[in-house]
Amino acid sequence: MSKVRVQAFSVSIDGFGAGPRQSLNDPLGVGGTTLHRWMFPTRTFQQMVMGGDDGSTGVDDEFAQRSFDNVGAWILGRNMFAPSRGPWPDDGWKGWWGDNPPYHVPVFVLTHHPRASIPMQGGTTFHFVTGGLHEALERAREAAGKQDVRVGGGVSTVRQFLQAGLVDEMHLAISPTLLGTGESLLAGIDLVQLGFRCTRHVGTDQALHAVFTRG
């Protein structure tokens, strides 16, 4: 069976995976972009997200590249797709990433409000799931086939998947920055009780990469 993975999920050194007050100007919350400074310069980010052909190599890039390897479907929370709340507004919003999002596989977005699927360029199609975590995972597994399912966030979605015991592997990139406030990733979650152990940790100038494996 395919694995469920949380990959390249950035957190501050004080444990926050996003800043407060998400908006169009601050899609990751106030200060949230500082968490991802390790990834922005990498060749993987520059190629897959920015459409360039350059970028840094090394450990940070290896973890960034690994986060896309063998991923056949994604699951996102609504706030990872749009800043709006409540019923979907008729505003033509199709995500933060333009016409060709970096996923290139089916993406299942958790929401309380139905919406028709949105096909995008490059093989990405956004599907909107109103039946909760287990329905989203069932549909994502079916779409992924033998490949893995990546839970992309945000913080609340990752926490729910962890608490439900549905995550097999988690890679956190711990950024040397302080947010002070925001959305805490692991507060109240006992990774040991859930069966996780740290199986790899590598430090760079921009992040401490820690891999946790369950079982």
DSSP state letters, 123-145: G-EEEEE-S-HHHHHHHHHHHHT
Helix (H) or strand (E) holding 156: helix 155-163
The pLDDT-based confidence of 50 (bands split at 50, 70, 90) is confident
Cα(7)–Cα(173) distance, rounded to whole angstroms?
9
Q: For every residue of 42-54, which 3-state class applies, written as one string?
A: EHHHHHHCCCCCC
**Angstrom distance (rounded) from CA 121 to CA 102:** 10
Arithmetic mean of pLDDT, 104-110: 98
* Measured distance CA(52)–CA(56) in Å, rounded: 12
Q: How confident is the model at residue 42 (pLDDT cuts 50, 70, 90)?
A: very high
Task: Please tell us whether the domain made up of 4-18+28-83+99-214 is placed in CATH 3.40.50.720.
Answer: no
How many angstroms separate the CA atoms of 9 and 13, rounded?
13
Please answer whether residues 112 and 129 qualify as being in contact, where contact means their C-beta atoms are separated by less than 8 angstroms. Answer: no
Amino acid at 111: T
- Number of CB atoms found within 10 A of residue 204's CB: 15
pLDDT, one tens digit per residue, over 156-194 is 999 999 999 999 999 999 999 999 999 999 999 999 999
What pTM did the predictor assign? 0.95
Q: Where are the beta strands (DSSP E) in the chain?
A: 4-12, 16-18, 71-77, 106-110, 118-119, 125-129, 148-153, 169-175, 183-184, 196-203, 208-214
Query: Do the beta carbons of residue 182 and residue 16 sit within 8 Å?
Result: yes
Burial zone of 114 (CB within 10 Å; 0-12 exposed, 13-18 middle, 19+ buried): exposed
Q: What's the rounded Cα separation, in Å, for the pair 134 and 71?
A: 18
Q: What is the pLDDT of residues 73-94, one digit of tens each?
A: 999 999 999 988 899 999 899 9
Q: Is 163 helix (H, G, I), strand (E, B) or coil?
A: helix
What CA dihedral angle connects 107, 111, 115 and 121, to 10 degrees? -20
- 31 — alpha (psi -120 to 50), left (phi > 0) or beta? left
